[in-house]
């Protein structure tokens, strides 16, 4: 068995790196395989201004292994107080690539997010004018809505009206987890794309809830039924340029996951590319892995694809990944796909 595939170096269009000791511990697992990543701004306190993003970018570059080339693409955390002029100046200077909309209360460190979209329309209009991308965590926070329905309801209640209000704004629906999300993206001709995570292509909700509660498979949006996972795989492997990789690799220490109120987030940075090769091979779509991981994302963001490459090779023996990585903040469990993986990044 000596199958191998060489693709342009991938980018991760949705990544959590955190800060401090955690940043130092997790960054090498991404910079090893990825050229660029959109860095999520949900730190405590959040990265709201261009000045904060500039300082955070410096901390990321300082934590990067010297031998790796890695270009962190910064996002700003949208609040109801965000200054449109700061956002567009940050974009025009090249320091800011995107803005992230978290509905207030939807997920980890989203308390400063948006309660009333009406209040951020001036920012969104300025972004549209400048050609900036809005990344959206697409879940409603209405406690009356079942957690498994929050993405589908978000499309009807928030995203579709927003698209009508500012049709020229480029939007990425982040970490789509439902057939409704896939169908909605497909129904829109322009200015809408979606990222898909590695783990949502692999697990359905049984991984979290069947045979005992498994906190390391809990993330937001929560994994859905099998029919949704199949729809996501179909979209990822279709070659449709509106779908691309955003791992949402989101490290939390084990004590913060394994407790009575565990954090949402799955850490996939170390094995993402191996797992994607596995998934695309299963779907007879290895020839489309490059589009998903390396071409569709830059095209939507108006950037050039990377010119360097990586090679994935299929091994006779399963590849082993560490069960945990050790960081200065504590251990972080690596996503376990629950099947042997034979693809290794050379
Ligand atoms: O599972 C998740 N973890 N989903 C998010 O939206 C946030 C992320 C985090 O920051 O841990
Ligand atoms: Zn995320």
5 CA to centre of ligand 1 in angstroms: 31
Contacts of 185 (CB under 8 A, 6+ apart): 173, 176, 192, 193, 194, 235, 242, 243
Q: In the 8-state DSSP scheme, what is residue 319? A: P
**CA angle (22 as vertex; 19, 24 as ends), nearest 5:** 85
- Ligand number nearest CA of 221 is 1
Q: Which residues are catalytic?
A: 248
pLDDT value of position 184: 98
Helix (H) or strand (E) holding 57: helix 50-63
Atom of ligand 1 nearest to the CA of 137: 6
Single out the residue of 121, 107, 256 nearest to residue 174, CA to CA: 107
Atom nearest to 40 CA in ligand 1: 10
The secondary structure element, H or E, covering residue 186 is: helix 179-187
User: Rounded to the nearest 5°, which phi and psi values hold at 275?
Assistant: -70, -40
> Residue with the nearest Cα to atom 7 of ligand 1?
108
Cβ atoms 126, 96 nearer than 8 A: no
Find out whether 169 and 48 touch, Cβ atoms under 8 Å: no
Alpha-carbon distance of 301 to 74, in angstroms, equals 13
pLDDT given at position 2: 60
Choosing from 12, 42, 104, 108 the residue with most ligand 1 atoms within 8 A of its CB, the one to mutate for a pocket test is 108
Integer CA distances (angstroms), 91 to 20, 49, 286, 294, in order: 25, 11, 35, 22
Alpha-carbon span 135 to 16, nearest angstrom: 14
pLDDT at 109: 85
Spatial separation of the C-alpha atoms in residues 285 and 116, rounded to whole Å: 41
The alpha carbon of 305 and the centre of ligand 2 are apart by a number of angstroms equal to 23
| Number of domains making up the chain | 1
What pLDDT is stored for residue 107 in this prediction?
81
- The residue segments making up the domain with residue 45 are 3-345
What is the CB-side half-sphere exposure of residue 179 using CA atoms within 13 A? 8
User: What is the atom index within ligand 1 of the atom nearest the CA of 263?
Assistant: 11
Instruction: Output the CA 1–ligand 2 centroid distance in Å.
Output: 36
Which segments of the chain have a pLDDT < 50?
none
Given ligand 1 and candidates 18, 22, 39, 42, which is best to mutate, with the most ligand atoms within 8 Å of its CB?
A: 42
Ligand 2 centroid to residue 320 C-alpha, Å: 26
CATH number of the domain to which 148 belongs:
3.20.20.140
Query: pTM for the full model?
Result: 0.97
**Rounded-to-integer distance, Cα 108 and Cα 106, Å:** 7
**CA nearest ligand 1 atom 10, residue:** 108
Q: Are 138 and 159 in contact (CB under 8 A)?
A: yes
- Pairing status of strand 71-77 against strand 4-8: unpaired
Pocket of ligand 1 (CB under 6 A): 16, 42, 107-108, 137, 219-220, 250, 263-265
Cis ω before 45 (30° cut-off from 0)? yes
In the chain, DSSP finds a helix count (H) and a strand count (E) of 13, 13
What are the φ/ψ torsions at residue 229 (nearest 5 degrees)?
Answer: -55, -40
**186 Cα: distance to centroid of ligand 2 (angstroms):** 22
């Amino acid at each position: 068995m000596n199958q191998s595939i060489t693709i342009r170096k991938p980018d991760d269009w949705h990544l959590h790196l955190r800060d401090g000791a955690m940043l130092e511990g997790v960054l090498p697992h991404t910079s090893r395989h990825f050229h660029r990543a959109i860095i999520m701004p949900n730190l405590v306190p959040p990265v709201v201004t261009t000045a904060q993003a500039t300082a955070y970018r410096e901390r990321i570059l300082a934590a990067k292994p010297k031998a790796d080339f890695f270009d962190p693409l910064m996002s700003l955390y949208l609040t109801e107080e965000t200054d449109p002029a700061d956002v567009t100046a940050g974009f025009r200077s090249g320091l800011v690539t995107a803005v992230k909309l978290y509905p207030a209360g939807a997920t980890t460190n989203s308390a400063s997010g948006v309660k009333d979209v009406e209040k951020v329309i001036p920012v969104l209009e300025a972004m549209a004018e400048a050609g900036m991308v809005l990344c959206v965590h697409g879940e409603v926070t209405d406690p009356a809505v079942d957690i498994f329905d929050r993405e589908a309801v978000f499309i009807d209640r928030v995203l579709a009206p927003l698209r009508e209000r500012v049709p020229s704004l480029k939007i990425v629906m982040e970490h789509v987890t439902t057939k409704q999300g896939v169908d909605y993206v497909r129904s829109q001709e322009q200015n809408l794309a979606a990222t898909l995570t590695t783990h949502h292509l692999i697990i359905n909700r049984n991984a979290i809830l069947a045979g005992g509660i498994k906190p390391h498979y809990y993330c937001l949006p929560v994994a859905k039924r099998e029919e949704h996972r199949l729809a996501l795989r179909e979209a990822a492997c279709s070659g449709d340029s509106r779908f691309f990789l955003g791992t949402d690799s989101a490290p939390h220490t084990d004590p913060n996951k394994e407790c009575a109120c565990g954090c949402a987030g799955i850490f996939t940075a170390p094995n993402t590319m191996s797992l994607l090769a596995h998934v695309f091979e299963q779907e007879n779509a290895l020839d489309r892995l490059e589009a998903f991981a390396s071409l569709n994302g830059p095209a939507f963001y108006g950037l050039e694809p990377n010119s360097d490459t990586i090679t994935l090779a299929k091994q006779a023996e399963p590849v082993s990944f560490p069960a945990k990585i050790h960081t200065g903040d504590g251990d972080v469990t690596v996503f376990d796909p629950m099947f042997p993986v034979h693809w290794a990044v050379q």
